[in-house]
Amino acid sequence: MTRTQLDIVIPLYNHPELFNKVFDSILDCSEELLDCSAEIIFINDSPKSLQLREAITARLKPEIRLPVKLINNPKNLGFVKSVNKAFKLAKANGHDILLLNSDTELHLGCVPEMLQVSQTDSMIGFVNPRSNNATIATFPQLDGINRLNKDTAYEKYKQLISYLPRVTYTPTAVGFCLLIKNFIISEFGFFDEIFGQGFNEENDLILRANQYGYRSVIANYAYCYHKGSASFGQKERLIMDSANQKILLQNYPYYLNLLESYFNTSIFKAEKLLTGLCGNNKKYDIVFDLTYVGQYHNGTFELAARLIANLTEINNKYNIYLSGEEQNLIFHNFDKLPNITLIPPNPNRYFAAAIRLSQPFTDCDIQRLSDLAPVNIFFMLDTIAMDCLQLHGYTIDRLWRYTASYASGLLFNSPYTMNQFISRFPLKENITTKASYHSLNTDEYFEPDLEKLNIELIDKKQPYVFFVGNDFRHKYVKETINALAKDHKSTTFVAQTDDTEIGSSNIHMLPPGQLSDGQINTLFANSSCVIFPSHYEGFGFPIMKAVAYDKIIFVKNSPLNISIKKILGNCPNIIIYNTTDELIKLFNNFQNGDNSKLKFSKGKGSSGPNKRPDLGWNKSTNDLIEVIDQCIKKFSFNTLLERLEFHNNYLTGQQNAVIPKKNYLKLIKKKITAKIIRNIITFR
């Protein structure tokens, strides 16, 4: 298709300083505008403004290479009538029109890119560039970007624009910088002068042409700075826009639905999420989702505390935020960490990456991360919740299949856990994965200052066997402790359990999850030995603690426990058994003092081959940083769109089942009207 000549039309109303800026930007683009066969047409709609007339006279000189035409209105006609005069000329001459506000500044490459994009589809009738202040065409969608100066706003745009496709199709366009093809005005007419001074006149023309299939698009790689309306005050703009919107809706009652539908598209949501990838003081903002953290203790919370605390010490590239219930985060002393910001569960802002140091267990867990950042990372600690069907069953299957397809990155706390997960859920090839043990440095589990328990048998340093676990069935505490206590009535056993089926007088039960880390350390330090009978784990914190306090620990035969024992130099403190019957025999030997078959280390457990400082929390934290870095580097806009499409399809089905159609339409109109009032589309 042969490109016609281009008329760049700039209506002027007072404000000579704006004229000078837009004119300077045009001159800066002179060479490319000449290549585009462009003519500049200024329309002076302020005939009584001496300052504007003098500014125009001073600048329009013969030595300007660009063809420039000046139209002086005999009186103030208003925006719509002034532009229609230019439309009439363009129609007669067969020219396309670029309608340009006086409060804009063109960037190099803007006009050629808009023209080229207009030729990519024969049904494109209108083209917008991106801008700092153009509602639907604003990019990036950062709070306050409309108040940034030209250079800063453009720098934010340049940080992210490479992620977007060349063209985005939209339901309408913004008149601040609008390319309109000649055949549009030739076939469908000019601006309707019923819109008076302006507002919504371009929406009317776009929708008029769209009835025949012609579309408006955004040329994402074109940019035009827009200061914002200077012709009218905010109150006056609101009144004019409201009145003209009523006129528009009489002709196109579906207009608000079109906008609301677009704002709910994956591409619009993805554009908003991209703002999280804007560097803040040359650092990315990342957020850890800790909404699952409660006011009690377990291994998952300990992991979060350890990793994040270590991250604050070695991190120099991220601004770190923790999202969760404030009182829960304070309970675990997250508020005492340096260079950390605590934020609520729904912070209403975006980050570069959202990380959950746990598996997702509900749709909300997945949706929360998706709403926070374009990059989503999950730490898969084990597959117990899926394999023990009474815990979550096939709900988990669907959620974890999602993570295998749409997560940006997946961390696993051991090769064993990684194999367990991948064998059940094949991963998409673009997902970053890493098996990263938690700290295997026993020094990091040893605490010399122990916390008092106020339990008589411990205060008096009476011997006891410490059972590690809780009331989950796979921990196998009840079955194992009952079997041992039956044959060892003179031995005291301490276990964290509330199980009412454990009733032997020599079993001391402590409420699970209620003891602090310091109290747990006290239990390890003062025990005669430790028994960890769990059938299924993703990692073995109890193993590390027992070895750190130089205790014998009996553990089930599993690939995970075998690998930990091997990494710790075939640590003799770790006694592996197959069945409860075998455990009873080994324990009998231990109780009887026959330790010839139970060779274990003497002295502090973290000494000698058991000590692995190279595999401590620094290693785990650096693995996490590596995964975050890779996920941000490999980020794909198309992958983000796929993820959001999944959410859109799933959540739309949920909403339709809840909201009756007639109420839904009312909700749409209410929401979009409020949005328009908050973000007035300023065209002059």
Residue 429 has, within 13 A of its CA and on its CB side, a CA count of 0
What does the block give as tokens for 369?
């991360």
- Rounded distance between C-alpha atoms, residue 373 and residue 354, angstroms: 6
| pLDDT tens-digit series, residues 590-616 | 888 765 444 444 434 444 556 788 899
Burial class, 331, CB count within 10 angstroms (exposed 0-12 / middle 13-18 / buried 19+): middle
Residue 575: name the closest of 556, 591, 558, 593 by CA: 556
Residue 41 is predicted with a pLDDT of: 96
Q: What is the DSSP letter of 323?
A: E
* Count of domains for the chain: 3
User: Residues 6 or more apart from 101 whose CB is under 8 A from it?
Assistant: 10, 11, 22, 175, 176, 177, 226, 683, 684
Would you state the pLDDT for residue 651? 52
**What's the confidence (pLDDT) of residue 577?**
96
Cα 524 from Cα 553, distance rounded (Å): 10
Count CB-CB contacts under 10 A for residue 463.
Answer: 11
* Domain at 214, CATH number: 3.90.550.10
Quote the CA–CA distance of 132 and 147 in Å, as a whole number.
8
Question: Which residues, at least 6 apart from 521, have a Cβ–Cβ distance to it below 8 Å?
Answer: 447, 450, 451, 545, 549
Residues 6 or more apart whose CB falls under 8 angstroms from that of 181 comprise: 96, 118, 124, 125, 126
Secondary structure E strands in 227-374: 284-289, 318-323, 340-343, 353-356
Q: Of 194, 218, 253, which marks where a domain is finished?
A: 253
Question: Residue holding tokens 């208003």?
Answer: 78
CA distances from 171 to 202, 204, 216, 635, 676 (A): 12, 12, 7, 28, 15
Question: 328 in a domain, yes or no?
Answer: yes
pLDDT for 606 equals 41
**Residue 449 has what pLDDT?**
79
Say if residue 423 is in the same domain as residue 528: no
Return the number of other C-beta atoms located less than 10 Å from residue 628's C-beta.
24
* CA pair distance 509, 500, nearest whole angstrom: 10
CA distances from 547 to 431, 505, 577, 602, 604 (A): 35, 29, 17, 11, 8
Quote the CA–CA distance of 421 and 411 in Å, as a whole number: 11
Same structural domain, 60 and 140? yes
Beta strands in 324-450 (DSSP E): 340-343, 353-356, 375-380, 409-412, 432-435
Q: Is residue 261 part of a domain?
A: no
Q: What share of the chain is helix, strand, coil (3-state, %, to 5)?
A: 45, 15, 35
Query: What is the rounded (10 degree) CA torsion for 594, 598, 604, 610?
Result: 170
B/e letters for 431-454, b = 16+ CB within 10 Å, e = fewer, are bbbebbbbbbbbbbbbbeebeebe
Same domain as 428, residue 482: no
Helix, coil or strand: residue 7: strand
Closest CA to 1 of 121, 170, 134: 121
Parallel, antiparallel or unpaired: strands 493-496 and 553-556: unpaired
In a domain, 680, yes or no: no
Domain match, 492 and 430 both? no
| C-alpha to C-alpha distance for 120 and 179, rounded to whole angstroms | 14
Does 197 map to a domain? yes
Within 10 Å of residue 224's Cβ, how many Cβ atoms?
26
Give me the CATH number covering residue 430: 3.40.50.2000
Residue 35 to residue 42: CA distance in whole angstroms: 20
- 483 belongs to a structural domain: yes
Closest of 218, 211, 222 to residue 258, by C-alpha: 211
Name the residue range of residue 381's domain.
Answer: 277-439+619-646
First to last CA, the chain: 32
481 and 348 belong to one structural domain: no
Among 144, 37, 176, 167, residue whose Cα is nearest residue 96: 37
Can you give the three-state secondary structure of 19-81, one letter per residue?
Answer: HHHHHHHHHHCHHHHHHCCEEEEEEECCCCCHHHHHHHHHHCCCCCCCCEEEEECCCCCCHHH
410 and 462 fall within a common domain:
no
Q: Do the Cβ atoms of 454 and 489 come closer than 8 Å?
A: no
Residue 652 lies in a domain: no
User: Would 259 be classed as within a structural domain?
Assistant: no
Among 588, 612, 636, residue at a domain's last position: 612
- 345 shares its domain with 378: yes
Alpha helix (H) ranges present in 275-383?
299-314, 326-331, 363-372
> Per residue in 176-188, pLDDT tens?
999 999 999 999 9
Q: Are residues 391 and 470 in the same domain?
A: no
- Tell whether 435 and 453 lie within a shared domain: no
Q: Both tokens of residue 259?
A: 């906008």
Q: What is the pLDDT of residue 463?
A: 87
Q: Tell whether 301 and 362 lie within a shared domain.
A: yes
Ranges in the chain, pLDDT < 70: 1-4, 229-237, 393, 457-460, 503, 594-610, 650-684
- Whether 655 is covered by a domain: the verdict is no
Element (H, E) at 676: helix 661-678
Do 561 and 627 lie in a common domain?
A: no
- Is the bond preceding residue 140 a cis peptide, omega within 30 degrees? yes
Contacts of 426 (CB under 8 A, 6+ apart): 404
Answer for the pair 547, 569: CB distance below 8 angstroms, yes or no.
no
What are the tens digits of pLDDT across the range 412-429? 999 999 999 999 999 998
User: What integer pLDDT is reported at residue 599 of this predicted model?
Assistant: 45
Q: Are 492 and 509 in contact (CB under 8 A)?
A: no
| Judgement on whether residues 247 and 298 belong to the same structural domain of the protein | no
Confidence at residue 591, expressed as pLDDT on a 0 to 100 scale: 85
Q: What is the pLDDT of residues 612-648, one digit of tens each?
A: 888 999 999 999 999 999 999 999 999 999 999 988 7
